[in-house]
Structure 1
Amino acid sequence: MKEPSEIAGFDEFWQYCLRLYDSEGVKEAVLKLQDQLELDVCVLLFACWSANQSAGGWNVEQLKRIKSVIHNWQYPVVSEIRKVRTFLKESELASIPHSVCSELRTQLLQLELEAEKAELHSLFLILAETERDDTEVASLQCQVVVAEKNILAAHGLEPDHGLKHMRPAFQVLFASAFEVSQDEVAGIFERL
């Protein structure tokens, strides 16, 4: 398998993910979706990028591969690193100096970021290997609908899975991803 830096477009995709995650309110929104719905943050970012690329809905084979990445990398690797980092942050370990735990958390955070980058690389390859027509520009409504549909499908959720209470988090994410106001995204959700 090629290194991420050897794949045309991966660096641009990686920078897109970092910018999106650092956008106002997005970190809190995606972490809320992760904590409350167990959604994979990398898949959330990937779905937004995919919709921005007018890639359309993911087909059955793509979904199968995306789910494989979630189950074979996200859950056993990224999530486990995060659990250890969170444990060190939330636990009172009297026998371990605070400075040691703090340094270890910092190292684990960097390791978690590298593991997420590896996951994003695997996700990127799924679409990079698919031919598509890049000339078509999707409407905002199409981008929102496709991104949400892909996110839910990748996690085995149905649109009526009781997600309405999470719409504000999706609004923040999609508004930043598609560079529009949250009100515009809310209007699309209202029409659905």
Structure 2
Amino acid sequence: MNKSMGSHSNRNLTPLWPWALALYARPGVQEALLQLQDEAGLDVCELLWGLWLLAHGRAPDAEADKQLSPIRQWQQHYTQTLRQLRRDLKPQAVGQPELEQMRTHIKQAELLGEREALRRLEALSSSLMSVPEPPDEKLLHPITGALSTGHQYLISHLRLESENMAPPSC
């Protein structure tokens, strides 16, 4: 049975940013996340947030689209714009140290944009619902939508990697 988490504070949750960095560093995670981003159009920050929620016995709810709208606008306006600039500059920067330095700065700004998105996503967590044990990746549907079998496999891989991390500290 679901119960509201509104009366609980976020102090029982491990902070999202270090958790996301730890998961991202696990074998195959970066590649899976980027494949889901590039092929399925999913947002890496939302996926990391969803996996973090599941690790804490929570999940995005049916109102996720409405709650995520301002964060998605942030991502589209800032983070995705920086990502596109960085990617566009990559071929031009080969063998050009000045352009590579510029690209590095854009990449740092993109990372700061993602960190801000994760901070905003984490702030949503106190109003989300707990889920029965064991939570599974089907609960990510509000942020992933329908996926191909190959993309569902990648989500399962990400879920397994997040479960293999050290348990969240409370």
* Fold shared per TM-score above 0.5: yes
d(CA) in 1 for partners of 2:128, 2:33: 29
Unmatched 5+ stretches in structure 1: 1-6, 181-192
The one-character-per-residue Cα deviations of 1:121-154 (angstroms, maximum 9, x if unpaired) are 11111113x1655xx7721xx332213x2322xx
The answer on 1:84 being equivalent to 2:85 is: yes
TM norm structure 1: 0.72
Aligned counterpart in structure 1 of residue 97 of structure 2, from 96, 99, 103: 99
d(CA) in 1 for partners of 2:108, 2:13: 19
AA partner of residue 133 (structure 2) = A
Q: Relative contact order (alpha carbons < 8 A, sep ≥ 6): 1 or 2 greater?
A: 2
> Which structure would you say has the larger Rg?
1
Cα distance, 1:112–1:9 mapped onto 2, change above 3 Å: farther
Contact 1:54-1:143 at 8 Å conserved across structures = no
Unmatched 5+ stretches in structure 2: 1-9, 166-170
d(CA) in 1 for partners of 2:81, 2:15: 28
Indicate the residue corresponding to 2:142 in structure 1. Answer: 150
Indicate the residue corresponding to 1:123 in structure 2. Answer: 121
TM norm structure 2: 0.80
Cα distance, 1:15–1:36 mapped onto 2, change above 3 Å: same
Identity of aligned residues (%): 23
- Report deviation, 1:68: 2.9
- Report deviation, 1:67: 3.0
| Structure-to-structure mapping, 1:27-38, within 5 angstroms | 27-38=30-41
Indicate the residue corresponding to 2:58 in structure 1. Answer: 55
The one-character-per-residue Cα deviations of 1:143-168 (angstroms, maximum 9, x if unpaired) are 32213x2322xxxx3x3x5x113233
AA partner of residue 39 (structure 1) = L
- Report deviation, 1:170: 1.6
